[in-house]
């Protein structure tokens, strides 16, 4: 069987590697971005000099030939389902028996005046990094538009090279549409501490270009203020990279809404064609999940699932517990399960502790009716994925979790631990006298809890 994969990001590569582990089918990956798969989340570290590009490749270059996975650096311009072929930018065609579309995301631009100018770009692809590197010697002042994860990464990258950074976000604090209020305020203050000029409740109105060179000179915001800028980073979100498919000349029967519509088996409306990762839109997502989830962990899970389905082992896509992680300058961030945003309706209760330095916090979200733990939000403190996931999946209550929080702590030896501080706070609020249990090895701790709680 010939399997063709469009896109060499985490979704497409996971599909290829999973197929190779399970079968001897012919596999070809097509990408116009890079010849080899690399970690997209490491783009900032290449720019900051912490890593080389070759250090970001999870597999050695000879891995692909060794495992008979063909790599083709080219751009697919059309899909021809009737003949089971794709057309490349050089007009050549390649056939397939099964096709996986894993074309990822692309930055969203909202039609601002001047957005076509030199020095205006997003940061998503390796080519974006190369463009930024070319502009960098001329950047003294920069403006970043949009307060998501890519925006804060770009702010840190430019700051590391001595660039003055204006950071425009339309909310009253950083990432308030995702983070709870206290955490959003914490990151906002941390950005200011790192000399990022964070402008809240502020939006981009216009990009001012030099008439002759068409290079960025300044921006004008919605308050009428002019900010001198040599560079404008557009970080107002991403969308599924499907415009190329919508605009192709030949007709196809692949259903597209915001993304490529797929069923629970990741099958599109066209036979023998699947879509995974950021470009895929689940027609009927599971309760509490979104149709499009553009994060690394869901893309990997889709890649594993689609391999099973292509090989006839019918497997419904079942996303694991919601998880995401990031870094805001010096503050690491982890979220597990259901943690409402600052601007979301409060349907859950939460126990929240914050360190006096306001750069570390622990939040446990729970159902106020039965105390069932629903989510964890960590800032500056790391917890074990398998522990948090199991506590939520097995429906542990808040008072079952609190005495055993040390099981979850994942910080290195000699790092301070703050679980007892959270427990003391809970005892003061409730009048309880819960005590933190001695830290144990993970396996023995599970046995202890299982016996103690009779589960």
Task: Enter the DSSP assignment of 285.
Answer: P
Residue 46's pLDDT is 97
Tell me, what's the pLDDT at 443?
Answer: 56
Within 10 Å of residue 420's Cβ, how many Cβ atoms? 12
Nearest in space to 15 (alpha carbons), one of 270, 283, 317: 317
- Looking at residue 448, its pLDDT comes to 56
Domains parsed from the chain with CATH numbers? 2-106+239-310 (3.50.50.60), 120-236 (3.50.50.60), 323-453 (3.30.390.30)
311 within 8 A of 23, measured Cβ to Cβ: yes
DSSP notation for 13-70: HHHHHHHHHH---EEEEEESS-SS---GGGHHHHHTTSS-GGGG-SS-TTHHHHTTEE
From the list 278, 311, 275, the residue with the least C-alpha distance to 297 is 278
Residue 239 contacts residue 212 (beta carbons within 8 Å): no
CB 298 within 8 A of CB 254: no
Rounded distance between C-alpha atoms, residue 153 and residue 212, angstroms: 31
Let me know how many helices (H) and strands (E) the chain has, helices first: 12, 25
Minimal CA–CA distance to 423: which of 450, 393, 398, 391?
398
State the helix-helix crossing angle for 385-393 and 442-453, rounded to 10 degrees: 20
Facing residues of 327 across strands?
Answer: 332
Residues 6+ apart with CB under 8 A from 193: none
Task: Give the residue carrying structure tokens 């997209």.
Answer: 40
Task: Return the structure tokens found at 9.
Answer: 């990001």
Gap between the Cα atoms of 99 and 85, Å rounded = 9
- Inter-CA distances, 311 with 25, 317, 321, Å: 9, 15, 26
Largest CA distance in the chain: 75
Per-residue pLDDT tens digits of the chain, which is 455 residues long: 999 999 999 999 999 999 999 999 999 999 999 999 999 999 999 999 999 999 999 999 999 999 999 999 999 999 999 999 999 999 999 999 999 999 999 999 999 999 999 999 999 999 999 999 999 999 999 999 998 899 999 999 999 999 999 999 999 999 999 999 999 999 999 999 999 999 999 999 999 999 999 999 999 999 999 999 999 999 999 999 999 999 887 778 899 999 999 999 999 999 999 999 999 999 999 988 999 999 999 999 999 999 999 999 999 999 989 999 999 999 999 999 999 997 776 679 999 999 999 999 999 999 999 999 999 999 999 999 999 999 999 999 999 999 999 889 887 766 788 999 999 999 999 999 999 886 655 555 555 555 555 54
What 36-45 contacts at long range (C-beta under 8 Å, 24+ apart), as own/partner pairs, is 36/8, 36/61, 36/64, 36/71, 37/8, 37/9, 37/10, 37/13, 38/126, 40/9, 40/10, 40/124, 41/296, 43/123, 43/126, 43/128, 43/129, 43/153, 44/153, 44/154, 44/156, 44/157
Residues sharing a CB contact under 8 Å with residue 182, sequence separation 6 or more, in sequence order: 352, 354, 361, 363
pLDDT number for residue 251: 78
pTM for the model stands at: 0.91
8 A C-beta contact, residue 424 and residue 403: no
Give the length of the chain. 455
Place of tokens 């939000």: 377
- DSSP-derived letter for residue 137 is G
pLDDT for the residue 449: 58
What does the alpha-carbon distance between residue 28 and residue 1 come to, in Å, rounded to a whole number?
A: 11
Beta-bridge partners for 323 = 336
């Amino acid at each position: 069987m010939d399997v063709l994969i469009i896109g060499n990001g985490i979704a497409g590569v996971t599909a290829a590697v999973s197929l190779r582990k399970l079968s001897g089918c012919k596999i070809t990956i097509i990408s116009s971005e890079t010849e080899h798969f690399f970690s997209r989340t490491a783009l900032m570290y290449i720019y900051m000099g912490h890593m080389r590009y070759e250090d970001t490749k999870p597999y050695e270059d000879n891995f692909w030939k060794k495992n008979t996975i063909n790599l083709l650096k080219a751009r697919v311009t059309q899909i021809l389902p009737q003949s089971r072929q794709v057309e490349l930018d050089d007009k050549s065609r390649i056939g397939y028996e099964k096709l996986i579309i894993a074309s990822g995301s692309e930055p969203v631009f909202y039609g601002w005046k001047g957005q076509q100018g030199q020095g205006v770009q997003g940061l998503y692809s390796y080519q974006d990094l190369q463009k930024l590197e070319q502009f960098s010697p001329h950047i003294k002042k920069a403006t970043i538009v949009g307060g998501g994860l890519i925006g804060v990464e770009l702010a840190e990258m430019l700051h590391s090279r001595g660039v003055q950074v204006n950071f425009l976000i339309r909310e009253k604090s950083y990432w308030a549409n995702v983070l709870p209020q206290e955490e959003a305020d914490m990151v906002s203050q941390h950005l200011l501490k790192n000399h990022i000029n964070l402008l809240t409740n502020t939006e981009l109105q216009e990009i001012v270009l030099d008439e002759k060179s068409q290079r960025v000179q300044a921006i004008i915001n919605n308050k009428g203020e002019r900010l001198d800028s040599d560079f404008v980073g557009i970080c107002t979100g991403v969308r599924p990279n499907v415009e190329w498919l919508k605009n192709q000349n030949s007709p196809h029967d692949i259903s597209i809404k915001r993304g490529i519509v797929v069923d629970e088996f990741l099958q599109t409306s066209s036979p023998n064609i699947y879509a995974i990762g950021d470009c895929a839109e689940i027609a009927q997502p599971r309760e509490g999940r979104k149709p499009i989830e553009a994060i690394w962990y869901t893309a990997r899970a889709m890649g594993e699932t689609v391999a099973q389905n292509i090989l006839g082992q019918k497997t419904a896509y079942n996303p694991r517990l919601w998880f995401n992680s990031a870094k805001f300058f010096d503050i690491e961030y982890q979220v597990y399960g259901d943690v409402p945003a600052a601007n979301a309706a409060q349907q859950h209760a939460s126990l929240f502790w914050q360190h006096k330095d306001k750069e570390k916090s622990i939040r446990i979200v729970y159902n106020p009716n039965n105390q069932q733990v629903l989510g964890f939000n960590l800032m500056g403190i790391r917890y074990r994925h398998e522990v948090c996931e199991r506590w939520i999946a097995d429906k542990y209550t808040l008072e079952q979790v609190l005495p055993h929080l040390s099981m979850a702590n994942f910080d290195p030896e000699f790092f301070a631990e703050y679980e007892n501080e959270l427990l003391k706070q809970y005892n003061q609020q409730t009048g309880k006298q819960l005590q933190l249990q001695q830290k144990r090895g993970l396996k023995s701790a599970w046995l202890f809890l299982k016996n103690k709680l009779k589960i």
